[in-house]
Amino acid sequence: MKTLFAVTVSAAALSAAFAADFCDQWGTATTDNYIIYNNLWGESYATSGSQCTGLDSSSGSTVAWHTNWTWEGASSSVKSYANAALQFDAVQLSSVSSIPTTIKYTVTYSGTIVADVSYDLFTSSTSTGDNEFEIMIWLAALGGAGPISSTGSAIDTTTIAGNSFSVYSGTNGDTTVYSFVASSEIDSFSGDLMDFFTYLMDSQSFDSSQYLNTVQCGTEPFTGEDVTLTVSSFSAVVNTGASSSSTTGTTGNDGTFHDDCCAEMCYSCPSCAYVSVVRFLSECFGVGEIPDITLSKLR
């Protein structure tokens, strides 16, 4: 009886944690793999407004969360960056084999909005040093939002993960910022974030000895009324070591080819646990549709 009672209390506490939004400037919610931040770092720029964020669910390497905000004033200034941040140890890019990620989200609002939905990654020349480079991947530029740029114009265009991006470069204090802005809104993204670094190494002389220390995805609001970002699923993992040589796989309902190694599946799992297979089959192929694949890398 004591054991059953303890389990009941734990489940209730977990449910309450998911249900409670947090509205304080630096409020957070923590799961095994992620920290959800409210992160109202630029709220002082606003003439009025507020923002609250909440964790909806967490299962394995996948998390669901939301944030709601209204901000007025200083239309060219970012007010916050509510986000889900992956928890991992800093690692040199030269040691990273892949950074598979997926996200599905919706944005609703009243009236007008100026905001982006973006990945935000940081690197440094040492594992504990100050950030030197920021790499932003804008999945959506809403209401005319624009990235940091030294010239106001893109320095290049490129196609990554089947999507077209304009590339911008600029500085924010001592940090060099590269921004990849999608040509049209991407509300369901599946790809390898390492491909963006590979582009920078090939085209912008980016140093592979840099340490990756931050991988997060969220939204930067400038202005807007009663805006809600709902992330129905987000996953990311930083894989190190030699990449898989397997080329067998199949194409899921999302139109993306999935390698058989579970680290490249629709929902990545660094430990190749069975739950990853279950999510892969149910989310990518639909209930009852069992694909003809060889899960050669599972153990």
Per residue in 234-273, pLDDT tens? 999 999 985 433 333 333 444 343 444 443 444 444 433 3
- Residues in the chain where the model's pLDDT stays below 70: 1-19, 242-299
pLDDT for position 292: 40
Beta strands in 125-210 (DSSP E): 133-142, 156-160, 163-172, 175-182, 188-192
Task: Give the residue from 77, 159, 160, 157 showing the smallest Cα distance to 168.
Answer: 157
Of 43, 134, 185, 225, catalytic: 134
Q: What are phi and psi of 40, to 5 degrees?
A: -85, 60
Q: What whole-number distance in Å separates Cα of residue 204 and Cα of residue 230?
A: 34
Q: What whole-number distance in Å separates Cα of residue 135 and Cα of residue 210?
A: 12
Task: Give the residue from 160, 113, 120 showing the smallest Cα distance to 138.
Answer: 120
Q: For residue 260, count other CB atoms closer than 10 A to its CB.
A: 19
The pair of structure tokens assigned to 251 is 């194409």
The answer to whether the beta carbons of residues 66 and 231 sit under 8 Å apart is yes
Distances (CA, A) of 137 to 68, 144, 299: 21, 16, 33
pLDDT for position 241: 86
The answer to whether the beta carbons of residues 52 and 65 sit under 8 Å apart is no
43 is catalytic: no
132 is catalytic: no
**pLDDT, tens digit, for every residue of 4-30?**
333 333 344 444 455 589 999 999 999
Of 43, 72, 132, 220, catalytic: 220
Q: How many CA atoms lie within 13 A of 10 on its CB side?
A: 6
Quote the CATH superfamily of domain 2-243. Glycoside hydrolase family 11/12, catalytic domain (2.60.120.180)
pLDDT for position 256: 41
Tell me the domain boundaries of the chain: 2-243, 244-299
Rg (CA), the chain: 20
pLDDT for position 235: 99
